[in-house]
């Protein structure tokens, strides 16, 4: 696809910048408030965490879950996540989320600050994967930043997908996918796809809880969002 090179550069950024990944969590109070909000979310049973990064969220999920399967494509951040997470109920998986398919179903699928890194053209397949990963009655729970975050990014134009430029301490530069989802538009788009969704703004971020289409075969009918 046209966005393959952009996604490869995005992965390279997170691999090269693993040591810098946690910095915003230490610096920004709004991120600490989001982490604290996990206690109020309907996380239960067996949990699949997508794009777990360095595991900022993983121990919090493990405290509420029977088990956690945490997936990320960057081995460097997963090494930090393993060091942070002592729970024996957590299993880490190295996988490219644009190719990986869950081998089983889960009660909860959780992803924080990942949806904004999915190119719009790949969103239908992504939501199909999430729906296929959920057990009956399961929920998808997601956290991300909204349009206000664009003011803090170096937004790029003329890219194969919405993108921003990120810089590491060593001066290296990387393009990443960065879609600044508006909560109302995202709610409408997911509703069109058959999901039941509630999105709650929290500062410049949002927390979403969604249940997949229930009509048999509805996952296969999902098409590109407007």
pLDDT digits (tens, 9 = 90+) for 144-153: 999 999 999 9
In this structure, what CATH number is given to the domain that contains residue 12? 3.40.50.150
The verdict on residue 226 lying in a domain is no
Residues contacting residue 26 through CB under 8 Å, at least 6 positions apart: none
The total domain count for the chain is: 1
Residue 207 has pLDDT above 60, yes or no: yes
Domain of residue 153: give its range.
4-221
Can you give the pLDDT at residue 215? 52
Share of the chain above pLDDT 90, in %: 93
Q: Specify if 23 maps to a domain.
A: yes
CA-based nearest residue to 106, from 48, 57, 152: 48
Query: pLDDT for 43-92, tens place per residue?
Result: 999 999 999 999 999 999 999 999 999 999 999 999 999 999 989 999 99
Q: Are 98 and 71 in contact (CB under 8 A)?
A: no
- 21 lies in a domain? yes
Residue 66 to residue 62: CA distance in whole angstroms: 7
Determine the Cα–Cα distance for residues 87 and 55; give it in Å rounded to an integer. 12
Does residue 48 belong to any structural domain of this protein? yes
């Amino acid at each position: 696809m046209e966005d393959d090179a952009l996604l490869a550069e995005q992965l390279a950024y997170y691999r090269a910048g693993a040591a810098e990944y946690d910095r915003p969590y230490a610096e920004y109070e709004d991120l600490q408030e989001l982490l604290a909000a996990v206690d109020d979310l309907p996380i239960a049973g067996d949990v699949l965490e997508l794009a777990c990064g360095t595991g900022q969220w993983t121990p919090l999920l493990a405290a509420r879950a029977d088990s956690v399967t945490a997936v990320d494509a960057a081995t460097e951040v997963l090494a930090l996540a393993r060091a942070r997470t002592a729970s024996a109920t957590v299993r880490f998986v190295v996988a490219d989320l644009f190719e990986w398919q869950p081998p089983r179903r889960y009660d909860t699928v959780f992803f924080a600050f990942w949806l904004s890194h999915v190119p719009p053209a790949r969103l239908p397949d992504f939501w199909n994967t999430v729906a296929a990963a959920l057990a009956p009655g399961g929920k998808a729970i997601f956290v991300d930043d909204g349009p206000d975050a664009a003011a803090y990014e170096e937004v790029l134009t003329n890219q194969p997908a919405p993108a921003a430029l990120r810089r590491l301490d060593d001066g290296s530069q990387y393009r990443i996918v960065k879609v600044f989802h508006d909560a109302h538009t995202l709610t409408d788009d997911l509703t069109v796809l058959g999901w039941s969704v509630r999105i709650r703004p929290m500062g410049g971020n949002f927390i979403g809880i969604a249940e997949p289409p229930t009509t048999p075969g509805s996952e296969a009918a999902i098409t590109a969002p407007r």
